[in-house]
Chains A and B, each alone.
Chain A
Amino acid sequence: MPLLTKVRQLPVNRWIDLALFLFLLTFPIWQNTYWVYIMSGIMAYMIFALSLDLLWGYTGLMSMGHSVLFGAGGYMIGIASAWANQADWIKFDQLPWFLAILSQPLGAFLAALFLPGLIALFIGLFMFSGKIRGVFFSLITLALAGISELFVINQSRYTHGDSGITVTSRTLFSNSDSQRLTDQQFYFVVLAFLLGSYLLCLWLVNTRTGKVLQGIRENESRLTYLGYKPAAFKLFIFMLSGMMAGLAGMLFVRVQGSINHSAIGINLATLVLVWVAVGGRGNLTGALIGTLLLQFSETKLNSVFSGISADFAQYWKLVLGLLLLLIVFVIPKGLIGVLLEQQQSRQGRDRKAAIMRKEVHSHDANP
Chain B
Amino acid sequence: MSPSMLLQLLVSGLASSFVLLLTSLGLVIILGYMKVVNLAHTEMLMSGAFICYYVYQAAGLPFIVALLVAFAVSFLFGALVERLIICHFYGKMSETLLATYALSILLKQAALLLLGKNYKKVDYPVKTVFQWGPVYLESYKLVVAGLAILSLLLTLLFIYKTKTGRMIRAAMQNRSMTESLGINTKKIDTITFAYGMGLAGLAGAIIAPLSTVTYTLGESWLTNTFMNVVMGGVSSLFGTFASSVLIQESVSVISGLSNSVTAQIIVLLVVIVVVRLKPDGLFTAKERR
Q: Identify the A interface with B (CB < 8 A).
A: 56, 62, 64, 126-127, 130-132, 134-136, 138-140, 142-144, 146-147, 150-151, 153-154, 266, 270, 273-274, 277, 311, 314-315, 317-318, 320-322, 324-325, 327-329, 332
Could you say which residues of chain A place their CB within 8 Å of the CB of B94? 56, 62, 277
Give bound CA distance, A237 to B112, whole Å.
39
What are the 7 closest A-B residue pairs judged by CB atoms, nearest first? A321-B105, A146-B223, A324-B102, A318-B109, A325-B102, A131-B279, A321-B106
Least distance between B20 CB and chain A CB atoms (Å) = 14
Report whether B93 and A134 are in contact in the complex, using a CB–CB cutoff of 8 Å.
Answer: yes
Q: Is the interface of A mostly helix, strand, loop or mixed?
A: helix
Of the 9-residue stretches B57-65, B191-199, B260-268, which lies at the interface with chain A? B260-268
Could you say which residues of chain B place their CB within 8 Å of the CB of A142? 222-223, 226
Report whether A132 and B223 are in contact in the complex, using a CB–CB cutoff of 8 Å.
Answer: no
Least distance between A335 CB and chain B CB atoms (Å) = 14
Chain A residue nearest to B259 (CB atoms) is A154
Q: Flag whether B230 is at the interface (Cβ < 8 A).
A: yes
Q: Identify the B interface with A (CB < 8 A).
A: 37, 85, 88-89, 92-95, 97-99, 101-106, 108-110, 112-113, 219, 222-223, 226-227, 230, 259, 261-262, 264-265, 268-269, 271-273, 275-277, 279
Least distance between A316 CB and chain B CB atoms (Å) = 9
Interchain CB contact (< 8 A) of B113 among A135, A315, A324 = A315
Least distance between A270 CB and chain B CB atoms (Å) = 6
Could you say which residues of chain A place their CB within 8 Å of the CB of B93? 62, 134-135, 138
Report whether A138 and B95 are in contact in the complex, using a CB–CB cutoff of 8 Å.
Answer: no
Interchain CB contact (< 8 A) of A324 among B101, B259, B264, B271 = B101
Least distance between B176 CB and chain A CB atoms (Å) = 22
If A321-B106, A321-B109 touch, whether A64 touches B272 (CB-CB below 8 Å) is no
Report whether A143 and B272 are in contact in the complex, using a CB–CB cutoff of 8 Å.
Answer: yes
Give bound CA distance, A139 to B35, whole Å.
13
Give bound CA distance, A271 to B249, whole Å.
34
Give bound CA distance, A126 to B276, whole Å.
8
Could you say which residues of chain A place their CB within 8 Å of the CB of B279? 130-132, 136
A-B contact pairs, 24 of them (CB 8 A): A62-B97, A64-B97, A130-B279, A134-B93, A138-B37, A139-B37, A140-B230, A142-B226, A143-B271, A147-B269, A153-B261, A154-B261, A270-B101, A277-B98, A317-B105, A317-B108, A317-B109, A318-B113, A320-B105, A321-B109, A324-B105, A325-B85, A328-B102, A329-B88
Could you say which residues of chain A place their CB within 8 Å of the CB of B219? 266
Report whether B113 and A314 are in contact in the complex, using a CB–CB cutoff of 8 Å.
Answer: yes
Could you say which residues of chain A place their CB within 8 Å of the CB of B265? 147, 150-151, 154
Least distance between B178 CB and chain A CB atoms (Å) = 23
Report whether B262 and A328 are in contact in the complex, using a CB–CB cutoff of 8 Å.
Answer: no
Report whether A127 and B276 are in contact in the complex, using a CB–CB cutoff of 8 Å.
Answer: yes
Give bound CA distance, A270 to B40, whole Å.
13
Could you say which residues of chain B place their CB within 8 Å of the CB of A324? 98-99, 101-102, 105
If A154-B261, A317-B105 touch, whether A143 touches B226 (CB-CB below 8 Å) is yes
Report whether B37 and A321 are in contact in the complex, using a CB–CB cutoff of 8 Å.
Answer: no
Give bound CA distance, A211 to B70, whole Å.
50
If A64-B97, A314-B109, A329-B88 touch, whether A132 touches B275 (CB-CB below 8 Å) is yes
Could you say which residues of chain B place their CB within 8 Å of the CB of A134? 93
Give bound CA distance, A56 to B98, whole Å.
13
Give bound CA distance, A319 to B104, whole Å.
13
Give bound CA distance, A146 to B42, whole Å.
14
Report whether A273 and B105 are in contact in the complex, using a CB–CB cutoff of 8 Å.
Answer: no
Least distance between A212 CB and chain B CB atoms (Å) = 20
Give bound CA distance, A143 to B98, whole Å.
16
Could you say which residues of chain B place their CB within 8 Å of the CB of A325? 85, 99, 102-103, 106
Chain A residue nearest to B93 (CB atoms) is A135
Could you say which residues of chain A place their CB within 8 Å of the CB of B230? 136, 139-140
Interchain CB contact (< 8 A) of A146 among B103, B113, B222 = B222
Least distance between A140 CB and chain B CB atoms (Å) = 6
Give bound CA distance, A153 to B260, whole Å.
12
Chain B residue nearest to A134 (CB atoms) is B93
Chain B residue nearest to A144 (CB atoms) is B272
Could you say which residues of chain A place their CB within 8 Å of the CB of B110? 318
Give bound CA distance, A320 to B103, whole Å.
11
Chain A residue nearest to B226 (CB atoms) is A139
Could you say which residues of chain B place their CB within 8 Å of the CB of A144? 272
Least distance between A183 CB and chain B CB atoms (Å) = 32
Report whether A322 and B102 are in contact in the complex, using a CB–CB cutoff of 8 Å.
Answer: yes
The CB with the most chain A CB atoms within 10 A, among B89, B95, B102, B223, is that of B102
Least distance between A25 CB and chain B CB atoms (Å) = 33
Could you say which residues of chain A place their CB within 8 Å of the CB of B222? 142, 146, 266
Give bound CA distance, A324 to B88, whole Å.
15
Give bound CA distance, A127 to B276, whole Å.
7
If A132-B276, A142-B226, A266-B219 touch, whether A150 touches B261 (CB-CB below 8 Å) is yes
Could you say which residues of chain B place their CB within 8 Å of the CB of A311? 113
Give bound CA distance, A362 to B77, whole Å.
62
Report whether B275 and A136 are in contact in the complex, using a CB–CB cutoff of 8 Å.
Answer: yes
